[in-house]
Amino acid sequence: MVNLGAAYPSMRFFSGLILLSVSIVVPHPVRAQSLLPISVGAYGELGDGTVGATADSSFNNGIFTLGVYAELPRVLLRPGLDLRCVCGDNAVQGMLTGPRVSADLGPFRPYAEAFFGPNHASYSASPTVSPVDQNGITSEGVVGLDWGRGGFFHWRVVEVSFGSFSGIAGSKPVSVSTGVVFRIPRAHLP
């Protein structure tokens, strides 16, 4: 078993950040009417992506994502914060965080997000060459569409991400994924 905290000190920081954020986002008992209402969602996604490095245009990578987000529920464009852990083929591992904005258009919830955070990959530009561990910072833009008719369960119809990874020269990772979202429409921050 790999100890990510020892191998990647920045992962330890982001793990702590995720734990702190989850403890804030999880609903607490309501103590007063003036508490800030938020919408909370937890999600899982499966997808496929490419590293997009200049030396290799055919490198595909299965991706699994788990995350949690919080946003203000009573405004037209809902600002919020998203935290996610990304894992994939070729030892891709990363923790990303960033702002998000979504809209409520009946059963559809389009959203856009901007992420940054540490990432790791074992990468080789050719299948005949042994992969080399690469560490770096990922910055990523994401657009997507959720669908749900109220209630707790929503379907993440599609999510498309595009960005850069400093650990692999010239990389422009792109991914497409789908998943499920479990949403709590109104929680309260203490």
Q: State yes or no: pLDDT of 1 exceeds 50.
A: no
- List all residues 6 or more positions away from 106 whose beta carbon is below 8 Å from its beta carbon: none
Work out the mean pLDDT of the chain and round it to a whole number.
Answer: 78
Provide the CATH number for the domain formed by 4-27+38-189 in this structure: 2.40.160.20
Helix (H) or strand (E) holding 15: helix 9-25
Q: Tell me the mean pLDDT in the region 128-142.
A: 86
Q: State yes or no: pLDDT of 50 exceeds 70.
A: yes
Taking only the tens place, the pLDDT of each residue in 70-99 is: 998 778 899 999 999 988 776 678 899 999
State how far the Cα of 57 lies from the Cα of 72, in Å rounded to an integer. Answer: 40
Q: State yes or no: pLDDT of 182 exceeds 80.
A: yes
Q: Which amino acid is at 123?
A: Y
Report CA 167 to chain centroid distance, whole Å: 19
Domain limits of the chain?
4-27+38-189
Span of 12-16, 38-42, 47-51, 157-161 with lowest mean pLDDT: 12-16
- List all residues 6 or more positions away from 147 whose beta carbon is below 8 Å from its beta carbon: 107, 108, 109, 154, 155, 157
- The band of 173, judged by pLDDT with boundaries at 50, 70 and 90, is confident
